Structure 1
């Protein structure tokens, strides 16, 4: 659905190109007859404001109208009865819908994508199966909604962000290639990763094997005349004895 809003103090904008001009039915009747009203929010890149058909769906109600009506794509207009704010909860933080226009003649509640991303400092990535809402700075997933139809409804959020949040520091330690505690603390403080589980005090066996102190390499006075006259190599201790009974390897 495409429409244009009048700006305060200005005349009504010229209507957008007709989309449903072939329908002879008057607009309010068409909206009330075609489909039942759906309380679900839908992402809409063509909208120019948030729209909701029922003021009771909003968290804050102004009891006033910012605009008298909105224009639809076929040149018709529908009245605005109220204005308010709403919120969308996510696993990370609340996402705000500011200045939602209430108009009883719509059948789908619409989220103006541009305003949503600007007000919440986030991005929206659409794909064939749904969309992601991500924090703009950290690229952290705020929520994911799957879509099986032609629209992008804000439905029951995927459980993947919950798993993302519940990752412990020890799991991040393994995922990121065994960095030290100082590096992990820096990533958490910079909000690149999130940890809900307190790190348990344990000794990382991999770090013991891979990060133990090596003997220093001393300078050599050897003089060679041809390549490979002298080969320098490290002697390592294997934690597991080989099938031939060897414990050391080069």
Structure 2
């Protein structure tokens, strides 16, 4: 598995990025997962510099927006990741929505 991310965590609060190239939803903070279980696989998340980061848990996140809750299922917890990644593919497929990108914003 791979993700488009350039850096490991610096211990600062991670922000989320909507990523059209990410193969999975990824968070660095286990407390972001409302339902989770330990990850018992051997896969790692490969980042931009080619190094692999360990996956510790897998679970779900519920993102609340104005008037709707979006489900992010099968989200990987990777404590060493610098930014939380939201996979465009997973977000649109799981929630049956489309995303429209503009120069300064996007619409779901």
TM-score (norm 1): 0.39
Distance 1:90 1:67 in 2: 34
> What is the CA-CA distance between 1:41 and the residue it aligns to?
2.4
In terms of fraction of residues, the more helix-rich structure is: 1
Q: What is the Cα deviation at residue 31 of structure 1?
A: 2.2
Give me the CA root mean square deviation.
2.5
Residue aligning to 1:36: 12
User: How many residues of Structure 1 are paired with residues of Structure 2 in the alignment?
Assistant: 108
Mapping of residues 24-63 of structure 1, within 5 Å: 31-33=8-10, 36-38=12-14, 40-63=15-38
Alpha-carbon offset, residue 65 of structure 1: 3.9
Instruction: Show the counterpart of 2:71.
Output: 96
- Unaligned runs of 5+ residues in structure 1 are 6-15, 21-29, 134-250
The aligned counterpart of 1:161 is none
Structure 2 unaligned spans of 5+? none
In structure 2, how many angstroms separate the alpha carbons of the residues matched to 1:65 and 1:52?
A: 17
- Runs of at least 4 residues off by over 2 Å: 30-33, 63-68, 90-93
Structure 1 match to 2:91: 116
Alignment of 1:1-250 (within 5 A): 4=2, 31-33=8-10, 36-38=12-14, 40-66=15-41, 68-133=43-108
Instruction: Considering fraction of residues, name the structure with more strand.
Output: 2
- Contact 1:50–1:97, Cα closer than 8 Å, also in 2: yes
**Superposed displacement of residue 66, structure 1:** 4.9
In the alignment, is the contact (CA less than 8 A) between 1:66 and 1:83 conserved in 2? no
Offset, 1:90: 2.5
SS of 2:100's partner is strand
Cα displacement string for residues 79-117 of structure 1 (whole angstroms, at most 9, x for unaligned residues): 001111001112333110011100111111000101110
CA contact (8 A) 1:37 1:106 kept: no
Q: Distance in 1 between matches of 2:44 and 2:55?
A: 5
Q: TM-score, normalised on structure 2?
A: 0.84
CA shift in 2, pair 1:103/1:79, >3 Å: same
Rg larger for: 1
Q: Relative contact order (C-alpha < 8 Å, sep 6+): which is higher?
A: 2
Deviation of 1:67 after TM superposition, in Å, equals 5.0
SS in 1 for 2:91: helix
